[in-house]
Amino acid sequence: DGGITQSPKYLFRKEGQNVTLSCEQNLNHDAMYWYRQDPGQGLRLIYYSQIVNDFQKGDIAEGYSVSREKKESFPLTVTSAQKNPTAFYLCASSNQVNQPQHFGDGTRLSIL
């Protein structure tokens, strides 16, 4: 089935450690996005990519990095510079910008 796969579902990070969240889509979508959700709040955009080898910062990019080497993959690295990384992370894709976005099931990141 076509869709967006995020892994792992749960992730634990030690202090000072970088961790990478995986996002893969087989929808042949050009655009991909990463969002962060804190408890009781809406989603906030971290990074987005409109095309392979290109990406742009969203509203809360500090402490995060991304790459877009393949159309189907958009991994997010939470670096040690992100001081409050505990959150629910959601990846999305769309055929193009301004088209409906479809979401993966998310990754919950916690600090040990």
Partner 1 sequence: GIQVEQSPPDLILQEGANSTLRCNFSDSVNNLQWFHQNPWGQLINLFYIPSGTKQNGRLSATTVATERYSLLYISSSQTTDSGVYFCAVEGDYKLSFGAGTTVTVRA
Does 42 bind partner 1 (CB under 8 A)? Our answer is yes
Question: Distance between CA atoms of 92 and 49, rounded to whole angstroms?
Answer: 10
> 10, 38, 7, 12: which is closest to 23 by C-alpha?
7
Asked if 20 and 76 count as a contact pair (C-beta separation under 8 A), the reply is yes
**Contact residue for partner 1 among 13, 63, 73, 106 (CB under 8 A):** 106
Does 44 bind partner 1 (CB under 8 A)? Our answer is yes
**Contact residue for partner 1 among 25, 82, 93, 101 (CB under 8 A):** 101
Asked if 67 and 1 count as a contact pair (C-beta separation under 8 A), the reply is no
**Contact residue for partner 1 among 10, 54, 98, 112 (CB under 8 A):** 98
Binding stretches for partner 1 (CB under 8 A): 33, 37, 40-45, 48, 50, 56, 58-59, 88, 90, 97-103, 105-106, 108
